[in-house]
A and B are shown apart, each in its own frame.
Chain A
Amino acid sequence: MKVKSYALVIVLFLFSITAIFAQEKTITGTVTGAADGLPVPGVNVIVKGTSRGVQTDFDGNYTIEATVGETLVFSFVSMKTVESIIGSGNTINVAMEEDIAALDEVVIVAYGESTLQTNAASVTTLKTDKIENRANAAVLQGLQGQVAGVNVGTGSGQPGGDSNIIIRGVGSVNSEVEPLFIIDGVPTNRDNFRTINPNDIESFTVLKDASATSLYGNRGSNGVILITTKKGKFNEGLKFQYSNSYGFSKLQPQKIELFDSAEILRWQRDNGAGDGVGLSDQQIVAIAGQTNTDWYDVFFRTATTMSHNLAITSGGEKTRNYTSVQYAEQEGIVANTDFKRMSVRNNFNGRSSNDKLKYNLNLAFSYAKTNEQDGSGSASVFFNPFRASLQGLPYLSPFDPDGSQTIDGGVIPGQVGTFTGANSKNFVYVLLNSIALNTDEEEDVRFVGNFDINWEFVDNLTAGIALGVDYRSERRTEILHPGSILGPFQSEQGNQAAFGGIYESTDTRDVRSTTLTNLSYQNTFGNKHDFEISAFLEYNRDFIDIIDFDQDGLDERFLGSTNAFIAANTQELIGGNLVNPYLPVLNAGSFTTGLFSYFSRASYTFDRKYGVQASIRRDASFRFSEENRWGTFWSVAGRWNIDEENFMENSAFDLLKLRASYGTVGNQLVGTATIDGFVLPTNYRGLNVAVPQIISGAGYNSTVSLIPNAANLGNPDLRWETTKSTNIGLDFGVWNSRFSGSLDVYKRVTEDLFFSRNISLINPGTNIDSNVGELQNQGVELKLDYNLVQTEDLSMSVGGTVSYNENEITKLAPETNGLIDSGGLTVLAEGQPFGAYYLTRFAGVNPANGEALFLDINGNITENLDPSDRVFLDKSSQPTWQGGFYTNINYKGIQLSTQWSFVADVYRVNLDYAELEDVGVGTVGNGQNRSPAVLNAWQNPGDITDIPRVGSTHSSFSLAVNSDRYLEDASFLRLRNIELAYVFPTDYLKRTPFTAIKVFAQGENLLTFTKYRGNDPESNFRTIDRGQYPTSRIMSFGTVINF
């Protein structure tokens, strides 16, 4: 080291000599941020071509010696570098602009950091300023369309609901398909994002190729999403930021046309069934004049949202701090559904005086409460309000005789005949009743904390340790009110017992812990050779325990207290026998997982131009037998920064980087996460897959027995699924990065796919889990950002992402003959994508008799709807195209931004619509409303129509689930977010305590373009829509105040 120091002294000495001969003077000035006008501390101010430099102080001020004609260069991370030639003046103030794609910006990668310049992997970082202050409590929904290759499917409008996230196509059939989520180094439960305050998140980093994810070994095959929370800044005064937002949400415009009272009654009359039969036109008009209910308006409401957020940052020379508190509320558009969250966070960073030792402590605590409506998607007409809102008959009144909205429509609890039966229409009242009286509540308490310390104990050699814990407890309480219409039916004795109702409570505690130790060596040789090697040791343990009880039989007078539970030893005389109708059910279980790993990463860079990196990881997964326990995963990647080549000098390119990678990753989360009847989070999948299980069963002659578990015979040969992934990418930036982007081409092949395989019946069960099968995803991703205009008053930028993914199942177990038909709408088949629909083709309506027609397997017309005529339709439930784009305009502080997202080439069966077109035999009087489309039903020989004869053979349900009649294109383009904001000029605020004020109005999901005829084209890639909770439109207003 000594030699280097001497060299520096000599260089400095030489420079100082030259300076003597020039006309030197002292320049002072202040550096501020162009956006907010606030001083920027820590900016490097360098005299161009020299090594003379200083940093701006706490107030953005600097002082430097320089000569006239020299150029000062102001540079700061994530800001555009500014150059200023020294003239006659002695003061140079600079306003620095944010750099949209700063090359040296830190890119968070697996177990470390990189930069856009040097990173060779396929990694996308999304700064959350793009999704900040949104009224939607579920932060992940905002990601859709913003990161190429990341598909965010939101299947429910439930406030705080989860989204399904698929990166680069479905990579498994029977195992985990969603990415690993890591918050500040702590592996976390992705299905519980509602407890995370979105405003605390600094960035999402999506790791896509094997070079990026291989370091996560047996957890990395579906990609990894790293979440970094906000930090304070060193050398910065105490700052407050308070923001709030208020808003309301509404259902998407109802697209399905429905009959009104007169129309449905007339249709019933004309077709000889239902309440319309025998009514005269006058009677119908009279009924319709009295009651014409739009059940949509009854079931759905305009709901409110609200949030308050306070963030406090401060920083000294060696410590910095970020503290935040938040309260957020979001009502659902269905009555009695809502979400509330309270969260606090503190992130603290410190470093030693010589910066060799650094430590971080992040602590976050939150409490969330959700009232749900979990009947969505249910086939049961009595538990799904979303179907009822379409199917409720308009001539039923939503009011009680006294004019208030009814909660029972006169239906008496427990009287079975009044609402069951094939043609009962009173289900709407049962649902109103359930919504009004029943409880389905979840409470989450979440604590996420992590601590890490790193020490460069010898020059270039750093050791560190990181500890993290994610603790979550959830209590779900479901009460089926004993006084509700369905209440009396809930005991084991049907409605015979004296007390009805169910109280179920489930308590879950889920703790995940991680420990990481590392040792890194980094050095630069000869100014051109950068070398880094790190070794890591990681230890993960997760624990979950669940306790659950169900009590049938509640005394509603005491609901809420223990007196409500009817004693278990209560006996009643039912059906001539003395029975115990109120026996409670108790369940409890605890489960644990672990992973022990060691891994290493090395990288070498030559002269900024070339870089190679490699990684290797060994994972020991307890899930597999001792012989198959250790998995090795590795990757190599290289890059060529073409822009650094001499021949590129003076080109418009700031960045032109070609990168390529290849590597392997594993998926140890095989098989089911439902164990002993408990539905566990997905990291508990496949706990006992290698060992045959012996369980307790009902024994002969009222005994208890030990028997092999037919569902878990154990396969000692079982292994993780392996994904081999190849990626070639190009990153570029031109014109000072005003136009930048990335292009990636990839192929992922997943081998040893986990399938249940038929075995000889001589075993205690018929199936074992086995590694058979193979699938692949290949695709292209493009991301572009263009800063159209960048002046002091006006800036405009546009950009977007688009990705194309082709999924194909390439191999199934030999005994399947290349096709696995589990009786659904889709099958798994070699040569077909995951989610390929396999249905009989609908071919219109027979003009001769009004029966539905189909194409048989040979393409001939037939009236038979036969499963053997099913064919592949080249349509899948998984989209091949998806992406989004944005526009931002900022004119003198007035900001208008839009963000759009789209998916295309995705199909779904629209059962909601189908059931409104039901003309099947015997369905006219089934107590359900219809769409006016049924008026087009076939009537006379020769009629050409697509609606079969009223009373024809096939119900529309049968057509929907057996033929492609209602398989619809669910592609959509949606205005995900639009924001209009005004940032007050700093001049206005000079005499106020505030440093910045922004007011904004936002709209979410305001516009949707789609051919899909259901409530909501967006979904979690399900195959059929049957009364789902649709995503809502949210409009909100708020302010952000800095002081």
Chain B
Amino acid sequence: MKMKNILKYKNIWILCLMVALFGCQDAIDINQDGFLGPDNAYNTVDDLQSGLNGVYARYLPDTGGNGTGGEIYHNSVFTDEIKSGIASAGQGSQLYDFIIDNTNTGGASFLIWQDNYRMIARANRVIEAFNVVTISSTDMERANHIRGQLLGLRALGHLKLLEYFAPSYDDPNGLGVINLDFVNNVNDQLPRNTFGETADLIRSDLETAQNLLDPSQTSNIFINVDVVKALRTRLALIEGDYSTALNLSSQLVSDYPLANQTQYLNMYQDTDNTEVIFKLSRVSGDNDVALLYFFNFIGPSDGYLEVSNQLFNELSEPTGDIRLNAVVSGAFSTINGVDDPTNVLVLNKYPGSADGQATNDIKVFRSSEMWLIKAEAEARMGNLTEAANSIKTLRDARFGSATATPNYGTLNQALTDILLERKKELCFEGHRYLDLKRLGSELGIGINRNPIDCASFQANCTLPSTDPRFTLPIPQAELDANSNIQVNPSN
């Protein structure tokens, strides 16, 4: 072969080799079309808003259905709000019998822990994305408002976790929950912080949020300055900071009047917002809250869980309480007599809305709760008269006429009455279990069901206020994957 040819061929080989070498990088750095990672997902303030939409979407106190459920379901079934319904196939019988199974991925231990941490984890990822998004000065106000909402939601998540999983609210050095204010490594196994540390994180998030939020944004289906205020009120209450609780609740009750009787019923149809400080918007396609109690929708024979006779009796006496109509459906219920085992007491708090026959917004903070907190703070600060007046204000609105001022001789009397009033006012909205945990343990009031109600499940009727089951156990899935997590005391 001639030298010239060899040289010519050599060039071809070199060319081939170079093509191969330079072509190589695109075989190593491959990104799939449409694949977004943390580095390229967030580019604009709109992207941050989009992230925020996903954080809200993960706050799910109403999750569950057909015998499983998180916060609202647990508060109803574990306590004295419900009895077995006409359509029951045994839904809720275990939980009603005070069995809290921390391995059950459809139970409160797992769901409240997981859902709130997932919301927090989502919030942290969006908060972190603020570091990579360039925000123009014109966008700054909007970006701040987004960040404020993210911090508010992170505080809400931590507060929920603290309420359910902290064994005691009284000891700042006792067990809190894992403070998650950063994007963790997926392999992290984090221990719990103390109650005080978690409370401090919530407080600091809320304070920062308060400063970032745009006061002109007042929609009650999003975190706004008033929602942050309500969160601070609730935190102050469980921490025992009653002066703050009183101060903040007083501000809120003056800004949010109580609903009259018509408005009150309309509120549960999602057509009135007079006393709603914060509610979760639920639209077609979201979890249907009524399906925690019904197979399909409110109806005379569709409920597998019904209002307990005990609660029905409490709301019936004295007469005229609009809350009876709000809780028990007059149209669908069958009442055969006081404590008659054949009573069909159809729940009316989730009657459906324009968004769906089983769909209702989830009320998180209402003015009435602030009145109850105000009353409790007043009582605890020694002002039993003002406490009685606060309760009267609430009752006047619910009865639609002036009611007698309650007479509180002692703090204990006041708190006992407030606990009952909370049950009547806030039942089926995810409060009863926490109220018994916080107030019941102090007052020595446990669960004491009407025998007709517990007979409907052939379950135990009573649970003493000292029972450790008023604190949720850490879910087994967390214990399995996290060797550093501390368990809660159990019996």
A residues within 8 Å of B by Cβ? 354, 356, 455, 457, 463, 465, 515, 517, 537, 539-541, 589-596, 620, 622, 629, 687-688, 691-695, 697-708, 710, 713-715, 717, 757-764, 766, 768, 815
Asked if residues A691 and B50 are in contact (CB atoms below 8 Å), the reply is no
Residue B317 at the A interface, CB < 8 A? no
- Using A702-B285, A763-B118, A815-B481 as known contacts, list a sample of 14 further A-B pairs with CB atoms less than 8 Å apart, ordered by residue number in A: A455-B13, A539-B20, A539-B27, A541-B26, A592-B30, A596-B24, A629-B28, A687-B32, A692-B37, A699-B50, A701-B283, A760-B188, A762-B121, A815-B480
**In whole angstroms, what is the CA distance A766 to B111 when docked?**
12
B24: A residues at CB distance < 8 A: 539, 596, 620
**In whole angstroms, what is the CA distance A592 to B30 when docked?**
8
Among B53-61, B75-83, B426-434, the one that faces the other chain is: B53-61
Chain A nearest CB, measured from B90 CB (Å): 19
Instruction: List 26 interface pairs A-B (beta carbons < 8 Å), by A numbering.
Output: A354-B1, A457-B9, A539-B24, A592-B32, A594-B26, A596-B27, A620-B28, A687-B35, A692-B37, A693-B36, A694-B38, A698-B285, A699-B57, A700-B53, A701-B221, A701-B281, A702-B283, A705-B51, A706-B126, A717-B187, A758-B477, A761-B113, A762-B184, A763-B184, A764-B118, A815-B481
Asked if residues B41 and A706 are in contact (CB atoms below 8 Å), the reply is yes
B242: A residues at CB distance < 8 A: none
Residue B171 at the A interface, CB < 8 A? no
Residue B85 at the A interface, CB < 8 A? no
Asked if residues B32 and A517 are in contact (CB atoms below 8 Å), the reply is no
Interface residues of B in 31-77 (CB under 8 A from A): 32-38, 41-42, 47, 50-58
Residue B189 at the A interface, CB < 8 A? yes
| Partner pick for B37 among A537, A620, A629, A694, CB 8 A cutoff | A694
B285: A residues at CB distance < 8 A: 698, 702
A708: B residues at CB distance < 8 A: 121-122, 125
Asked if residues A465 and B16 are in contact (CB atoms below 8 Å), the reply is yes
Chain B nearest CB, measured from A896 CB (Å): 52
Chain B nearest CB, measured from A944 CB (Å): 38
Interface of A is mostly: strand
Chain A nearest CB, measured from B7 CB (Å): 11
**In whole angstroms, what is the CA distance A629 to B41 when docked?**
23
| Partner pick for B114 among A463, A706, A766, CB 8 A cutoff | A766
Asked if residues B117 and A761 are in contact (CB atoms below 8 Å), the reply is yes
Asked if residues B477 and A761 are in contact (CB atoms below 8 Å), the reply is yes
Chain A residue with the shortest CB-CB distance to B118: A764
Chain B residue with the shortest CB-CB distance to A694: B41
| Partner pick for A705 among B20, B28, B50, B475, CB 8 A cutoff | B50
Residue B21 at the A interface, CB < 8 A? yes
A interface footprint on B227-259 (CB within 8 Å = 1, 0 otherwise) = 000000000000000000000000000000000
Asked if residues A762 and B178 are in contact (CB atoms below 8 Å), the reply is yes
**In whole angstroms, what is the CA distance A589 to B180 when docked?**
36
Asked if residues B30 and A705 are in contact (CB atoms below 8 Å), the reply is no
A537: B residues at CB distance < 8 A: 17, 20-21
Asked if residues A701 and B187 are in contact (CB atoms below 8 Å), the reply is no
B56: A residues at CB distance < 8 A: 699-701
Chain B nearest CB, measured from A746 CB (Å): 32
A704: B residues at CB distance < 8 A: 50, 53
Asked if residues A759 and B481 are in contact (CB atoms below 8 Å), the reply is yes
Asked if residues A541 and B27 are in contact (CB atoms below 8 Å), the reply is yes
Interface residues of B in 453-490 (CB under 8 A from A): 475, 477-478, 480-482, 485
A700: B residues at CB distance < 8 A: 53-57, 280-281
**In whole angstroms, what is the CA distance A517 to B21 when docked?**
10
Asked if residues B190 and A762 are in contact (CB atoms below 8 Å), the reply is yes
Chain A nearest CB, measured from B124 CB (Å): 10
Chain B nearest CB, measured from A457 CB (Å): 6
A760 with B37, Cβ < 8 A, contacts A698-B285, A703-B53, A706-B51 known: no
A710: B residues at CB distance < 8 A: 118
Chain B: how many interface residues by the 8 Å CB criterion?
66
The 9 closest A-B pairs by CB, nearest first: A699-B53, A594-B27, A700-B56, A705-B54, A707-B54, A694-B41, A705-B53, A622-B30, A596-B27
Asked if residues B221 and A594 are in contact (CB atoms below 8 Å), the reply is no
A766: B residues at CB distance < 8 A: 114, 477
Asked if residues B23 and A539 are in contact (CB atoms below 8 Å), the reply is yes
Asked if residues A761 and B122 are in contact (CB atoms below 8 Å), the reply is no
Asked if residues B30 and A706 are in contact (CB atoms below 8 Å), the reply is no
Chain A residue with the shortest CB-CB distance to B36: A694
| Partner pick for A763 among B186, B221, B283, CB 8 A cutoff | B186
B178: A residues at CB distance < 8 A: 762
B17: A residues at CB distance < 8 A: 517, 537
**In whole angstroms, what is the CA distance A703 to B114 when docked?**
23
Interface residues of B in 105-164 (CB under 8 A from A): 110, 113-114, 117-118, 120-122, 125-126
Chain B nearest CB, measured from A620 CB (Å): 5
B485: A residues at CB distance < 8 A: 760
A695: B residues at CB distance < 8 A: 36
Asked if residues A622 and B121 are in contact (CB atoms below 8 Å), the reply is no
Asked if residues A758 and B30 are in contact (CB atoms below 8 Å), the reply is no
A715: B residues at CB distance < 8 A: 186-187
A758: B residues at CB distance < 8 A: 477, 480-481
Asked if residues B13 and A463 are in contact (CB atoms below 8 Å), the reply is yes
Asked if residues B42 and A759 are in contact (CB atoms below 8 Å), the reply is no
B110: A residues at CB distance < 8 A: 761
Q: Which of B16, B122, B481 has the most CB of A within 10 A?
A: B481
Asked if residues A455 and B186 are in contact (CB atoms below 8 Å), the reply is no
Asked if residues A762 and B120 are in contact (CB atoms below 8 Å), the reply is yes
A701: B residues at CB distance < 8 A: 53, 56, 221, 281, 283
Asked if residues A693 and B35 are in contact (CB atoms below 8 Å), the reply is yes
B283: A residues at CB distance < 8 A: 701-702
Asked if residues B478 and A517 are in contact (CB atoms below 8 Å), the reply is no
Residue B331 at the A interface, CB < 8 A? no
**In whole angstroms, what is the CA distance A691 to B31 when docked?**
10
Asked if residues B32 and A761 are in contact (CB atoms below 8 Å), the reply is no
Chain B nearest CB, measured from A239 CB (Å): 33
A589: B residues at CB distance < 8 A: 33-34
B47: A residues at CB distance < 8 A: 706
Chain B residue with the shortest CB-CB distance to A768: B186
Chain B residue with the shortest CB-CB distance to A467: B16
Chain A residue with the shortest CB-CB distance to B114: A761
Asked if residues B10 and A693 are in contact (CB atoms below 8 Å), the reply is no
**In whole angstroms, what is the CA distance A691 to B38 when docked?**
8
Residue B6 at the A interface, CB < 8 A? yes
Chain A nearest CB, measured from B164 CB (Å): 14
B180: A residues at CB distance < 8 A: 762
B9: A residues at CB distance < 8 A: 455, 457
B25: A residues at CB distance < 8 A: 596
**In whole angstroms, what is the CA distance A921 to B258 when docked?**
59
A702: B residues at CB distance < 8 A: 283, 285
Asked if residues A760 and B482 are in contact (CB atoms below 8 Å), the reply is yes
Chain B residue with the shortest CB-CB distance to A629: B28
Q: Which of A595, A622, A715, A762 has the most CB of B within 10 A?
A: A762
Chain A nearest CB, measured from B367 CB (Å): 22
Chain B residue with the shortest CB-CB distance to A814: B483
**In whole angstroms, what is the CA distance A691 to B180 when docked?**
21
**In whole angstroms, what is the CA distance A515 to B23 when docked?**
10
Asked if residues B42 and A706 are in contact (CB atoms below 8 Å), the reply is yes
**In whole angstroms, what is the CA distance A455 to B5 when docked?**
12
**In whole angstroms, what is the CA distance A627 to B415 when docked?**
61
Chain B residue with the shortest CB-CB distance to A598: B24
**In whole angstroms, what is the CA distance A698 to B58 when docked?**
10
Asked if residues A761 and B481 are in contact (CB atoms below 8 Å), the reply is yes
Asked if residues B54 and A697 are in contact (CB atoms below 8 Å), the reply is yes
B125: A residues at CB distance < 8 A: 694, 708, 764
Chain B residue with the shortest CB-CB distance to A455: B9
Chain B residue with the shortest CB-CB distance to A593: B30
Chain A nearest CB, measured from B278 CB (Å): 13
| Partner pick for A596 among B28, B35, B280, CB 8 A cutoff | B28
| Partner pick for B33 among A590, A694, A705, CB 8 A cutoff | A590
Asked if residues B37 and A594 are in contact (CB atoms below 8 Å), the reply is no
A356: B residues at CB distance < 8 A: 1
A764 with B16, Cβ < 8 A, contacts A592-B30, A596-B27, A699-B57 known: no
